Structure 1
Amino acid sequence: MFVARVTGSVVATQKVASMTGHKLLIVEPYRVDEKNRDRLVPTGRTFVVVDTLGAGLDEMVLVCQGSSARLTPETEKLPIDAVVIGLINTVDIGGREIFSSRELS
């Protein structure tokens, strides 16, 4: 699993039938800043993920990747390798809050 920020969406009008109706998002993984460990920083990579929770633009999400992405009831029959499995409220490192969704409001 990894933490990521929603940066966009993908629209594909032609796709396999099992993917019809599934929202696709572009996410950028984040990691803890190695120097300060007091903030999250982007990795510079992007992924397309299936969104089963209704995440929005700029929202921080928890992503599951690989064959585990097909282990939720919503995705068990989908040809995917990445899915949003959580909407992040806070991230704490060493007892210190380094991210809060309240800051985005």
Structure 2
Amino acid sequence: MFIGRITGSVVSSQKVETMIGQKLLIVEPLRVNEKDQSDLTPTGRSFIVVDTVGAGQGEVVLCVQGSSARFTPETKTLPIDAAIIGIVDQVHIGPKEIFNSKD
């Protein structure tokens, strides 16, 4: 699993039938700041993921890759290798909160 921020969306007019109606989003993985663990910083990579939870632009989400992406009822028949499985509310490192969606 990884945490990422939604940076965009993908529209595809031609696709396999099982993908019709699936919301595709671009997610940039985030990591804990290596210097002081004070926040989450972007990695510079991007993934296209299927949204299973109704996430939106700018939200921080929890994603899975590989065969785990097909373990939800919504994705078990889809030809995918990445899916959003949650929207992140908070991230803590030890006693310190480094992300809060309410901020």
TM-score range, shorter chain: over 0.9
Percent identical pairs in the alignment equals 62
- Any residues of structure 2 matched to 1:9-88 within 5 Å, and which? 9-88=9-88
Residue 10 (structure 2) pairs with residue 5 (structure 1) = no
Q: Any gaps of 5 or more consecutive residues in structure 1?
A: none
**What is the CA–CA distance in structure 2 between the aligned matches of 1:46 and 1:52, rounded to whole Å?**
18
Instruction: State the alpha-carbon separation in 2 of the partners of residues 10 and 91 from structure 1.
Output: 27
Q: TM-score, normalised by structure 2?
A: 0.99
TM (norm. structure 1) is 0.97
Q: Runs of at least 4 residues of structure 1 off by over 2 A?
A: none
Length, aligned pairs only = 103
Structure 2: gaps (5+ residues): none
Offset, 1:95: 1.6
